[in-house]
Amino acid sequence: MEKTTKNLTYSSGYSEVNGLKMYYEIYGQGKPIVFIHGGGSTIQTSFEKVIPLFAKNRKVIAVELQAHGRTNDRNADLSFEQDTDDIVTLLKNLNINKTDFLGFSNGGTTVLQIAIRHPEIINKIILGSALAKRNGVPEWFWDFMKKAQLENMPEQLKKAYKKVSSNPNGLQVMHDKDVKRMIDFKDIPDDQIKSIKAPTLIIVGDRDIITPEHAIEIHRQIVNSELVIIPGEHGEYIGEITTLKPDFKESNLIVPLIEKFLNK
């Protein structure tokens, strides 16, 4: 179904994916790129600022993963591997055989898993603030996760979920499952990361939750990769909703740099 938002026409729908009704939006025309959001997020909270810019030249396919946004839950914990298989099934349903991927935060970790488990569907990947190992974040992050409560979740993310979901208990479920996934997170083995052959752009903020050292480590392990450390917080370089300041400018976004990488 075609809709318009902020002068941008897009289509949206649900696809039957491994027991889920998975929500997606498609913007623009051209070579495809798939956007994968962060934990606790929706398409809009992660990507609303950059979608119009990419959609000028590309077909942008943005998804919402299990228990997030408009996609329902299943009777199973969240995992990056399952998210990967869900996205691959969705792309088959949409007749997309090969595509670029941009993943932010947890979405970046999912893109790592896609590159490891399904390299045949990848052209190029962009890893935005992606975590591959537990030591990629400061120790306080894990202490925070052990004590995580819904009331401490950023208001912008809670509000965005309630805006799009009709499930009154879904917010708590999403929060608790996201937290459990992080507490249970295991390092991605070095040999799996080194197996990635796709051209890769690694992006991290200099005041990110992911440490610059971790981004450098991933860069050294992925042979065909480039690394950008950009001033700002976790996701500020794509205008993620919790980073937006009153003086936000589109010109601060990293879109031209990503497009230069994609168009090589």
* pLDDT tens per residue across span 154-200: 999 999 999 999 888 999 999 999 999 999 999 999 999 999 999 99
CA 210 to the chain's CA centroid: 14
pLDDT over 70 (residue 254): yes
Q: What is the mean pLDDT of residues 1-9?
A: 74
CATH number at residue 130: 3.40.50.1820
d(CA 55, CA 27): 6
Q: What angle do CA 137, 139, 140 make, to 5 degrees?
A: 100
| Beta-sheet strands, E only, within 7-140 | 8-17, 20-27, 32-36, 59-63, 99-104, 122-128
The residues that bridge with 255 in the sheet, in sequence order, are: none
* DSSP 8-state class, residue 189: P
Tell me what pLDDT residue 4 has. 72
**145-166 confidence digits (pLDDT tens):** 999 999 999 999 999 999 999 8
Q: What angle do CA 200, 62, 233 make, to 5 degrees?
A: 60
The SS3 assignment for 109 reads helix
Global pTM reads 0.97
Of the candidates 41, 76, 58, which has an alpha carbon nearest to the alpha carbon of residue 235? 41
Query: For residue 1, what pLDDT band results from cuts at 50, 70 and 90?
Result: low
Range of the domain at 32: 2-262
CB 254 within 8 A of CB 228: yes
Residues 6 or more apart in contact with residue 264 via CB below 8 angstroms: 199
C-beta neighbour count of 208 within 10 angstroms: 24
For residue 160, CA distances in Å to 12, 57, 92 come to 17, 27, 28
Give helix then strand counts, H and E, for the chain. Answer: 10, 9
Q: How many domains does the chain have?
A: 1
